[in-house]
Structure 1
Amino acid sequence: MSAIKSIKSIAPLFDRVLVQRVKAQAKTASGIFIPEANVEKLNEAKVIAVGPGMSTQDGVKVAVSVKEGDKVLIPSFGGSPLKVSGEDYLLFRDAEILAKIQE
């Protein structure tokens, strides 16, 4: 299996959503660095790419509920992990995404 060279080469299918988890601060407000092992993973992620959506049995197209660039809440566990150019990404189904974060 060949290595994936760029995240731009990943195009989610159906109702899949490709996200990248937001990295937690590794430094406190007072400037103290926290060891990476002690930094808690956040459930916040940025949407990188979305699939075209699914079709119902009647042939009606149901679009994905998020778009590229949205910030979302994802479950603590689940998703399909993907590593591209040393960066970690996750693939979720649209229905697995918990919420969209309004800014």
Structure 2
Amino acid sequence: MKFRPLHDRIVIKRIEADAKSAGGIIIPDTVKEKPQQGVILAVGPGGRDESGKLIPIDIKIGDRVLFGKWSGTEVRIDDDDYLIMKESDVMGVLVELEARQKGA
């Protein structure tokens, strides 16, 4: 990807939701909700405060994050769909999954 976000914006690739429910029911595409999890692909340098001092972004490339259902702007770059949003639209980083992956 050849895109560099500015200021406190980040680029996210959605993680596709499972096609089955927890009970084993197959969910058709027409009723599937958009996933609210994604992986950070790029981050901007950070925002600025009132004095002009740079405030770095806490999120780093590779983090799995949760975000709001209607957050961000959907864009298509090189035939792939991405979300561009401000860091403040992210609800949190999924650290439990990271700990499981490191332990495996």
Q: Does 1:63 align with 2:56?
A: yes
- Aligned equivalent of 2:82: 89
- How many residue pairs were aligned? 96
| Structure 1: 5+ residue stretches without partners | 1-7
**Which shows bigger deviation, 78-87 or 88-97?**
78-87
Indicate if the aligned counterparts of 1:80 and 1:90 stay in contact, CA closer than 8 A.
yes
Q: Deviations over 1:20-75 (max 9, x none)?
A: 11101124689875422232222111101000001212232101120110001111
State the shift of 1:87 in Å. Answer: 1.9
Root mean square deviation, CA, Å: 2.0
Q: Which runs of 5+ in 2 are unaligned?
A: 99-104
Alignment of 1:1-103 (within 5 A): 8-27=1-20, 34-102=27-95, 103=98
Q: Which runs of 4 or more aligned residues in structure 1 lie more than 3 Å from their structure 2 counterparts after TM superposition?
A: 27-34
Question: Aligned pair in 2 of structure 1 residues 100, 29: CA closer, same or farther (>3 Å)?
Answer: closer
TM-score (norm: length of structure 2): 0.79
- TM-score, with normalisation over the residues of structure 1? 0.80
